[in-house]
């Protein structure tokens, strides 16, 4: 899974990227036009506990790739230009985090001259809608011309109504993430990587002096912008940056002193999983304890295919016990089985977040 971090100049986008990835880059590197990539482990205390129990040869966390998306430029009027290069870099991500500046700093002023969260959020939404609208209009015109010819491909007849549905929404300034699409329609849309169809986390960046007012501001923005596949989170960029440079034990003390319940990384991952409908299941043992990321609602057979593609066709049964029941029985499969929590499930079983599974296959 790849999550792109976007934002207007001087909003704290690169600060957030460095904080959650612990890649403290030199300013000369940050000023370059290339996007910055980093892969981080998904923290999971359940996997850590399983590793304590089994002492495996290896422990493998799920991972997320974060991208500091670059390419925004200042126009002649002083306003921000959404370049073709920037929009192209955004398309490749599965979800987006838009960093929105709430802090004032006279040394580094906001590029638009004032702090206005809603203005900044709308500016991105508008540019993304215009980009999608241009792409959809071009494709619709091309399909209509092709359909006028004899021997037009059948898939074009299926594609056209989906794109016309998108066109109608975009012309009404409605992001595609707010639309309802069938599985078949989503299969069409995935090929286009449309920007407004991507899940969006809006991350409001405050400074330490705003701790008292932050909750109210987050609530206000959420009332206006939170919706289908859009969530609002907050963080304190400068504090988080300082905390990321500390050893884990000192960072924990630091968080307690500032009343921070969860790190920016923890918040982003938790909310991203919820936004994208993701969950984790585990495979455990003396060789390896591992977390696997799957979509909510996946069956045991589909989840087995994430472990190895051959398991889909060779699937027989899944041995399943939920993590909570496993721990409640002292981390013992035998005791979990005696208590009736260990069971055999078929290919149609819907996997739950926190299931520990062992796949039987031919």
Greater model confidence, 63 or 32 = 63
| pLDDT exceeds cutoff 90 at 24 | no
**What is the widest separation between alpha-carbon atoms in the chain?**
73
pLDDT above 70 coverage of the chain, percent: 95
Query: In the beta sheet, which residues pair with residue 94?
Result: none
Q: Please state which of the ranges 30-39, 109-118, 163-172, 211-220 shows the lowest mean pLDDT.
A: 30-39
Q: What is the pLDDT of residue 115?
A: 95
Average pLDDT, the chain: 91
| Residue 33 pLDDT level (bands cut at 50, 70, 90) | low
Q: What is the pLDDT of residue 282?
A: 98
Tell me the helix, strand and coil percentages in the chain, rounded to 5: 45, 20, 30
Q: Exposed (0-12), middle (13-18) or buried (19+): which is 219, by Cβ within 10 Å?
A: exposed
| pLDDT exceeds cutoff 70 at 32 | no
| Residue 315 pLDDT level (bands cut at 50, 70, 90) | very high
Q: Please state which of the ranges 29-38, 52-61, 200-209 shows the lowest mean pLDDT.
A: 29-38
Greater model confidence, 17 or 78 = 17
* Residues in contact with 123: Cβ distance below 8 Å, sequence separation at least 6, in sequence order: 8, 80
| pLDDT exceeds cutoff 90 at 155 | no
CA distances from 170 to 26, 92, 128, 303 (A): 40, 20, 10, 35
| pLDDT exceeds cutoff 60 at 353 | yes
> Nearest-CA neighbor of 359 among 282, 296, 279, 274?
282
* Tens-place pLDDT, residues 62-106: 999 999 998 787 655 556 778 888 999 999 999 999 999 999 999
| Residue 244 pLDDT level (bands cut at 50, 70, 90) | confident
Cβ distance 64 to 269 under 8 Å?
Answer: yes
| pLDDT exceeds cutoff 90 at 25 | no
Question: Going by DSSP bridges, is the β-strand pair 315-322/355-361 parallel, antiparallel, or unpaired?
Answer: antiparallel
Which single residue is written with the structure tokens 């004899």? 150
Taking the C-alpha atoms of residue 248 and residue 257, their distance in angstroms, rounded to an integer, is: 14
Phi and psi of 246, rounded to 5°? -95, 155
| pLDDT exceeds cutoff 90 at 228 | no
> Nearest-CA neighbor of 321 among 350, 340, 303, 342?
342
Q: What is the pLDDT of residue 211?
A: 87
CB under 8 A, 24+ apart: contacts of 75-79:
78/111, 78/112, 78/113, 79/111, 79/112
Query: In the beta sheet, which residues pair with residue 202?
Result: 98, 232
Phi and psi of 196, rounded to 5°? -80, -5
pLDDT above 90 coverage of the chain, percent: 74
């Amino acid at each position: 899974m790849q999550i792109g971090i976007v934002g207007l100049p001087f909003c704290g986008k690169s600060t957030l990227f460095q904080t959650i990835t612990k890649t403290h880059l030199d300013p000369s590197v940050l000023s370059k036009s290339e996007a910055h990539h980093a892969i981080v482990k998904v923290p999971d205390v359940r996997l850590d506990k399983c590793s304590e129990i089994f002492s495996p040869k290896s422990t493998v966390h799920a991972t997320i790739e974060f991208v500091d998306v670059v390419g925004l430029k200042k126009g002649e009027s002083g306003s921000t230009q959404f370049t073709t290069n920037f929009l192209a870099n955004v398309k490749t991500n599965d979800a987006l985090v838009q960093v929105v500046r709430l802090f004032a700093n006279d040394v580094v002023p906001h590029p638009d001259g004032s702090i206005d969260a809603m203005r900044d959020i709308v500016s991105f939404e508008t540019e993304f809608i215009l980009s999608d609208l241009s792409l959809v209009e071009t494709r619709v015109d091309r399909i209509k011309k092709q359909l006028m010819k004899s021997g037009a491909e059948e898939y074009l007849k299926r594609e056209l109504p989906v794109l016309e549905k998108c066109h109608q929404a975009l012309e009404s300034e409605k992001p595609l993430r707010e639309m309802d699409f069938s599985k078949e329609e989503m299969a069409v849309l995935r090929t286009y990587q449309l920007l407004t169809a991507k899940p969006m986390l809006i991350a409001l960046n405050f400074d330490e002096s705003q701790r008292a007012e932050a909750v109210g501001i987050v609530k206000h923005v959420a009332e206006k912008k939170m919706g289908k596949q859009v969530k609002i989170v907050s963080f304190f960029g400068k504090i988080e940056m300082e905390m990321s440079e500390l050893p884990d034990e000192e960072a924990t003390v630091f968080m307690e002193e500032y009343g921070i319940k969860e790190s920016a990384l923890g918040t982003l991952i938790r909310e991203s999983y919820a936004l994208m409908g993701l969950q984790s299941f585990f495979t455990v043992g003396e060789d390896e304890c591992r977390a696997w990321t799957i979509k909510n609602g996946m069956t045991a057979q589909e989840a087995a295919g994430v472990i190895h593609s051959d398991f889909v066709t060779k699937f027989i049964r899944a041995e399943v016990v939920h993590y909570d029941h496993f721990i409640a029985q002292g981390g013992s499969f035998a005791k979990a089985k005696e208590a009736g929590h260990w069971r055999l499930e078929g290919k149609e079983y819907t996997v739950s977040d926190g299931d520990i599974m062992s796949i039987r296959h031919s």
